[in-house]
Amino acid sequence: MSERPVALVTGAAGGLGRAIVAALSEAGWTVAAATHRGSDLAGDLAEPMAPASLVGRVLDRHRRLDLLVPNHAAMTMAAVDEHDPDDWWRIVDTNLSGSFRLARAAVPALRAKAGSIVFISSEWGLIGWPRASAYAASKAGLIGLTKALARELAPTVRVNAVAPGVIDTAQLAVDAADLGVSEAEIRARYAAEAPLGRIADATEIAASVVFLASPGGAYYTGQVLSPNGGTTLVP
Amino acid sequence: MTTSGSGASVEADAPVVLVTGASSGIGRATAIRFGRAGYRVAVNYARDTSAADEVAALVEGRAYRADVADRYAVATMVSAVEAELGPIAVAVCNAGFYEERRLEDVDDSLWDRSLRVMLGGCFHVSRTVVPRMRSRGGGSIVTIASELALIGGVEIAHYVAAKAAILGLTRSLARELAPTIRVNAVAPGAVDTPLLPDRDRGPGYTDTLPLRRIGRADEVADVVFDLAHSAWTTGAVWQIDGGAAIQ
């Protein structure tokens, strides 16, 4: 069994995922970094069997699990009545159902180590966003899941969420393409919406994940941290 | 797929409301509330034909059988409603079910069914009525979420996730469809309907509520009706829960 605590981070090839893996490693965690494809922990987490398979592979390798960070996500943007309904559901099934199935599979191991879960939600899960109804629904659902599992798994396993604002990652290309503007333009627009006048660096979001998982976060459960530059000031 | 009520005293050009899951509980009360206000009411239901027919008769509307988890069935229903009753002015996305189960026992079937019926019911109705409402220059959609979407609950993660997802959908559609179509949510607490566990009817629960009692379906229906007509409200979540989720 690994001496160091073990974290499973999904979506580890993306901008935020890489930053979370790096920050947890820096903080002393052994990190199992799962990706959609191209790694030895690859899988499509929209597939119903994939999350349990992934958790099983991590436990085979490390013999323990202390932290689950379901960070993988799919997003496309379209008007609700123009969004291909199969694609709409693929987004919900990837982001919300995939995260749920990861949690369900990981809970016995997390209980054994009094570990925790940090779901990755989104500012858009809190306040909604036009042409992003599937993504926002999936991310809002994760906030509900956070609160439900925080109550159900207490006092052994803590469950929290991080709901980031706009992050400077390759994902911005989706937003830019949807609005038909350049990535520089979309960066400037989002920056102007934040009281802090800029979008986030992924390391600034990863820091919230590390905090919630760390001893300093030990009295947090069922909470949503919202590093977003002040864009949303909601309960 | 339809059964008819008498329709005798409802004005031919009265506005039309579609209420999903209207054969019992909050949906039934909502159908009655709109019917009392002169609406032509489309009473959607999934299984209980005699209960839906009874509601349809009460409101002089029509019952429409359709599983809202099935987008094709929803599209067929909406076409039938508009052909038979007229253009839908208000859609109330209410269909749902409540079944407590601990996390490890929430199998994929229960999880998927929860998302498809509750979130999917809202999505499938919205994607179908929105282009119709937009072409007519207006409309109002009310989704039924839950107090539990705001504060969580034990052994009910599938339900809470679906109801919380409805809030994300509601807020997104409110932004996307403004100013033409308003989209709002109601978050009811423990209401005296067939879905409510007996545990929540006793003093062990009601004594924890600031207002010391569970709610009545007609009280929720009043809020649904008012929210549907509140012309300067969109993207809102109106709580009606006896004070359970004061925040």
Q: What is the structure's pLDDT at A165?
A: 95
CA quadruple B197, B203, B208, B214: dihedral sign: positive
- Of B196, B187, B228, the closest CA to residue B30 belongs to B228
What is the pTM for the complete model shown? Answer: 0.96
Q: What is the pLDDT of residues A19-78, one digit of tens each?
A: 999 999 999 999 999 999 888 899 999 999 999 999 999 999 999 999 999 999 999 999
CB A210 within 8 A of CB A23: yes
Nearest to A208 by CA among A172, A158, A164, A143: A164
CA torsion through residues A102, A108, A109, A114, sign: positive
Catalytic residue among B39, B45, B159, B205: B159
Mean pLDDT by 10 residues, chain B (247 residues): 50 92 98 98 98 98 98 98 98 98 98 98 98 98 98 97 98 98 98 92 94 97 98 98 93
- Residues of chain A positioned with their CB less than 8 A from the CB of B75: none
A135 in catalytic set: yes
Residue with tokens 């054994």: A112
Q: In which band, very low, low, confident or very high, does the pLDDT at A216 lie, cut at 50, 70 and 90?
A: very high
Give the whole-angstrom CA distance, residue B210 versus residue B226: 23
Give yes or no for a contact between B34 and B46, defined as CB atoms under 8 angstroms apart.
no
Chain B residue with Cα closest to A126? B168
Q: Report the C-alpha gap between A161 and A176 in whole angstroms.
A: 27
Looking at residue B9, its pLDDT comes to 61
Q: Nearest by CB to B172, which of A92, A132, A144?
A: A132
Would you say A90 and A74 are in contact if contact means Cβ atoms under 8 Å apart? Answer: yes
Residue type, position B178, single letter? A
Domains and CATH numbers, chain A: 6-165+202-225 (3.40.50.720), 166-199 (no CATH)
Q: What is the mean pLDDT of chain A?
A: 95
CATH H-level, domain B2-240: superfamily:
NAD(P)-binding Rossmann-like Domain (3.40.50.720)
> For chain B, which residues make up each domain, given as ranges?
2-240
In this prediction the ipTM stands at 0.96
Q: What pLDDT digit, counting tens, does each position of A106-137 carry? A: 999 999 999 999 999 999 999 999 999 999 99
Distance CA A99, CA A119 (A): 8
- Contact status of A81 with chain B (Cβ, < 8 Å): yes
> How big is the A-B interface in CB pairs under 8 Å?
145
Per the structure block, which two tokens stand in for B229? 């007509």
pLDDT bin (cut points 50, 70, 90) of residue A161 is very high
Residues of chain B in contact with residue A45, where contact means CB-CB under 8 angstroms, are none
Return the residue of A nearest to B101 by Cα. A152
Cα of B225 to nearest chain A Cα, Å = 23
Element (H, E) at A118: strand A116-120
Q: Above 50 in pLDDT, residue A98?
A: yes
Question: Rounded mean pLDDT of chain B?
Answer: 95
Produce one character per residue of B142-167: b if its CB has 16 or more CB atoms within 10 Å, e if not: bbbbbbbbbbbbbbbbbbbbbbbbbb
Pairwise CB contact (< 8 Å): B164 & A151 = no
Counting every residue written for chain A, the total comes to: 235
- Could you give the CA distance from residue A65 to residue A209 in angstroms, rounded to a whole number? 16
- pLDDT number for residue B247: 80
Tell whether A29 lies on the interface with B, counting CB pairs under 8 A. no
Spatial separation of the C-alpha atoms in residues A211 and A51, rounded to whole Å = 25
Cβ-based contacts of B105 with chain A (< 8 Å): none
Residue type (1 letter), B209? L
